[in-house]
Structure 1
Amino acid sequence: MSTFYELEYGIPSLINCIGTLTSLGGSRMDERVTSAIVQASRSFVDLNELQKRAGKRIADLCRVPDGYTGYVTAGAAAGLCLSTAACMTENDSTRIRQLPNTSNISKKYVILDRGGDMRWNQSIQTSGAQLLFVGSKKHPATYSDLLSVLIDRSHEIACMVYFAGAYDDGQGLSFEDILVLTNSHNIRLIVDASAQLPPRSNLYKWTHGGADIVLYSGGKGIGGPQTSGLLLGKSDLVASVAANGSPHELAIGRPMKTSKESICGLVKALEIFIQDDDADDVTHYNLVISIITDTVCDIPGISALRVVCPLPPTIQPNTIPRLYIDITVKRNASPPLDHSLKSEFYGDDLDHGDPLAIQPTTPVNILAYKLLKLQPPIAVNTSNTGIVINPQTLTVREAKIVAQGVKHVIANMVRDGILTAKVTSRL
């Protein structure tokens, strides 16, 4: 049966084994979410008042402390820009209107730890903010590194951005340590938790921990519109976020428009997400993985099947188990696998903006490339020793198709002499 995208645009729908990437469309929306979007689209509303009412409902759903509220952004990256702008301008209308010009704004620097996630620097700089780095990629900032910067330059620092999950391997400063330091110097702390759901407890963790603003993607774990983001923050700061945002015409956030449909869709998705349970998610993940492993467990060409959880910080959310399917490559395969690298660090060089631009130059990439050529196409992530399956975005029906697809492609690669028929280890 042809899908909507095939009928309307001539593009096949994918089976997504990678995850809730923006470039693959984020997540699936529940019918109750799409119903809310349709209902919202059928009449007009005061958008500023809708944002306030939606923010209050979001705050109640997320059990924020007194003095906090919510706000819907056009995605977590837009939230970074707006939050940074809010920290620089507060509620000063003159400053709000002049951004991204920060020439007469004294506090215009944002602290970033180079040991964190550097992909979103432009989202921060769009506000006009300047970046102030501590630490390095290999050596995240220490307590003394951050303290030194705060002592010397707190008079010109608007805020610090902390990327949640980036230090789950124990490297770098904890959120608690950073908060103590920023609070002691009256510096706002923004937590980017875009891909940190599930678990649902992360909706409450950082606001109750004292963060000034916490950002989430609306179109990932929550299951809302891909063009939505969730912001929780201290009420005075959220008021400044709103003043810097759309629909205001003389504001840096005017291009980051949040529609009435997106607002209502996100609130409904959040209601459903909170009603559901982490344990039910895990049951589904395990079922999907077992369907695939039961089908491919005896296939020549596979050297190991491994379920890994928790995962390293380079893979988010790292609380969702991943199935690693390692392959057996002939000794004379050209080019061979590089076993000197750890497969757990897959994705470091993946372009998440175009993850399907695969060049079939290695056995691993050939496998991923051939899976994309099936009907329906199967999109997988890769490690240095095989492919990786994320069950988060798979239905039971799709898991069966994936299992048969992997079985078919690997059998053909053994036949073609790319993989050996040797079988070594199982789960």
Structure 2
Amino acid sequence: MSGEEGRRVVITGIGVTAPGGPGVKPFWQLLTDGRTATRRISLFDPTPFRSQVAAEVDFDAEALGLGPQQTRRMDRAAQFAVVTAREAVTDSGLEDRLPAPHRMGVTIGSAVGATMSLDQEYRVVSDGGRLELVDHRYAVPHLYNHMVPSSFAAEVAWTVGAEGPVTVVSTGCTSGLDAVGYAAEVIREGAADVMIAGATDAPISPITAACFDAIKATTPRNDDPEHASRPFDGSRNGFVLGEGCAVLVLEEWERARRRGAHVYAEIAGYATRSNAFHMTGLRPDGREMAEAIRVSLDEARLVPEDVDYVNAHGSGTKQNDRHETAAFKRSLGEAAYRVPISSIKSMIGHSLGAVGSIELAACALAMEHHVVPPTANLRTPDPECDLDYVPLTARERRIDAVLSVGSGFGGFQSAVVLARPDRARR
């Protein structure tokens, strides 16, 4: 074990800002109901684009406690992070029992940073794209904050008063898993006792739509937004873009136990691998994801048969879904055919770097309530995706250990294992 022997890491607080309504309760209700939050894009006019649907957050910054100066200074993704971190800290019960500032840190993941603000500011300084030489005098005074994603972590650190390790993790669509995995390692090595960890992205903008249109990664099913995201279904034709944030309070186990904290789960295992193969392509055998799964289970001292639920990456592209199915079979063996697996992207879309943390929040809640969220819109399974992908309806099941996986452009493959503290490391 790296770091101080015996230092274990548990989740004691959860905050979520996701499509379907900000806050943990609306998020979990949406998932257990099997409802989708996908709709025609309203944040800009999507008419010129191939894919015109997304999963948007109904977010009122002022109603959620952000003042005019904060909303002026912060990109939408940073606003998500601050509001969500506040919810997580409140949920943890740490507000009056925070550690010394230098013993608390922050790790925030993001794939695309301040995309919305940069898109908007470019339109302003270029006068709608008419100027080759942009006029900086028209830019907002806080443009630098939009250029550096580290501003996200700084905003959260200022909010919670963290003076320990503060960083941003940006590994594409695995950023949310990697941010939590990295934060857990910081606690294990003894550099902090509490980490505020998660990820945020607000990518629903014309530049993002244009980029995914170019590679035909997003769905063109514009006439039926509610059923556009169809992971593992034979009729799927691309993912639905989303936005959102999740923040977890990670705490050293003995500290949490001493203060009587409610513990959702232990971060029992984490691993990440790269396929060193292609920016967007995946090898069909799923070898790299399978290796990340194997190592994360080894770290948790669990075997495939111990896993009670798998939260799939499940983006809804043919390439990813088949790659992931192969990875589960390769890493879990016969257990892959028995364990329930589902993709919540069918309901909240794919919020790029943020979604890994949102999915970890869903996994912790699944353990809390012993309910497996469904894969919405899965009516005609792809014959090559022949595992139990929990179609349409949530399922009650005792859940003591969960595996959550992510796959990102650049070849990133990550896996996190959550377990009850008395189940992990037995």
State TM-score, norm by structure 1: 0.25
Higher strand proportion: 2
Q: TM-score, normalised on structure 2?
A: 0.25
Between Structure 1 and Structure 2, whose CA radius of gyration is higher?
A: 1
